Amino acid sequence: MSHTKSNITVQEVDYIPFNYPSLGITSRRTIIEGIRAVSGSQHEVYISGGLVGIDLPQEVQTEVKNIWQGFIYKGRLEDADKLENWHLLQYKLEDDDDDIVFNTSCYGPNNGENGTVEIVGAYIKSSSPKNNLGFYYNGPIDGSGTWRTVTPNNGNNKNVFMHSVMGRLAVGNYQSDAADENTINVNAFIYDVKTQECIDFIVDDLKAPTLYGIWHNGGNSYTMAGGNSARKIGDTVSQAFLVDYDYLTRKFSNLQFFSYHNESTPTVNVHFEGITLNKTNDGYNMPSDWMQGTQEGASFVTVKRNKNGSFGFAEWKDIAYPEENVKITSANTVYLNKVLGIYVSKNSEQKETLISSYCATIID
């Protein structure tokens, strides 16, 4: 199977692969998680994610399978084949911590002050190999800045994932003890990167929400994106949502649910995976993953603001990487009219499951 860069256009969507260039066949295991435009640049972006495979730097080799090496990419979307644009990162513990970090997953990059970069995500260390710890990073792109563990719910948590950061706020999710095996135990929270405070995400009409995206509208105004389901597994299908947040008053407004392709009676589980301002600055674009039974897929979603500030009608465009033997396509992040994510395929010769990343441009 070829791994060269080529454009494929299907149903007004232009697809190109986007993978770490030096891993050969294991470049099919590049996993993109976040994107943000580089401040002051017309064409460059930050892209964050993880590399999974055995061809990683020796210092991160362990006996643990599926090692994740975090990365931050800085450059044009057309220049993924330039190795100098890719910067490998690993969470840095305090000097007196003897643990070994063997998994780092980078999400939601953002522009920091004075040319620095902010990154959020999760990492695993040797003393708790089955538990993900959330993190926030701020500093140079080479990872030499400040790494900070994020601990919501006063430390009563497990598997903390930070997903997105912008302005002075980041959003993420964590697991707590469930009442029983049929109860969803995921909780969302907001993190203030200045004060290091974790704020519970509690909104009327949201039963079991998760947060994956945040957009800073300016001033105290933020818009957040995610998904909501019932606490009891199987009670209802999940729906995507948008909601506004005022940082000073800590009040939420304009909560709006969205069903897959605007179904009047939702039958498909759907979730927004991120958020960005649209090209005309009058609404937002979101990447969305959906699932119905054994079927899984991805979509690009556009929602404009109404004149009264509420969210309007959603326009849906399904995304499916057009390559032979592709089983699943996910939409993990969005920048203007571009969706980035992964697709999973089967290698017909080696009968191996392959993971690769892509960039899809929605043609206007």
pLDDT digits (tens, 9 = 90+) for 34-44: 999 999 998 99
For residue 160, which of 194, 110, 198 has the smallest C-alpha distance?
198
Q: What is the pTM of this model?
A: 0.91
Backbone angles phi, psi at 25, to 5 degrees: -65, -30
Answer for the pair 16, 358: CB distance below 8 angstroms, yes or no: yes
Q: What is the pLDDT of residue 86?
A: 95
Per-residue DSSP letter, 130: T
- pLDDT tens for the chain, 364 residues long, are 334 455 665 678 999 999 998 655 444 589 999 999 999 998 999 999 998 874 444 544 444 555 788 999 999 999 999 999 999 999 999 888 888 887 899 999 999 999 999 999 999 988 888 899 999 999 999 999 999 999 999 988 989 999 999 999 999 999 887 655 666 688 999 999 999 999 999 998 888 899 999 999 999 999 999 999 865 555 678 899 999 999 999 999 999 999 999 998 889 999 999 999 998 889 999 999 999 988 999 999 999 999 999 999 999 999 999 988 899 999 999 999 999 999 998 766 666 778 889 999 998 7
Q: What is the pLDDT of residue 56?
A: 45
Q: What is the pLDDT of residue 18?
A: 94
pLDDT digits (tens, 9 = 90+) for 209-218: 999 999 999 9
Tokens 């109860």 correspond to what residue? 183
Q: Please, which contacts does 135-139 make with residues 24 or more away whose CB atoms are closer than 8 Å?
A: 135/91, 135/162, 136/162, 136/165, 136/170, 136/191, 136/193, 137/89, 137/91, 138/112, 138/193, 139/112
Q: What is the pLDDT of residue 60?
A: 44
Provide the token pair at 156: 């009563």
Q: Is residue 83 classed as helix, strand or coil in its secondary structure?
A: helix
Q: What is the pLDDT of residue 57?
A: 46
For residue 101, how far is the Cα from the chain centroid?
A: 21
Q: What is the pLDDT of residue 364?
A: 76
What number of CA atoms fall less than 13 Å from residue 17's CA on the CB side? 19
For residue 258, which of 275, 279, 242, 280 has the smallest C-alpha distance?
242
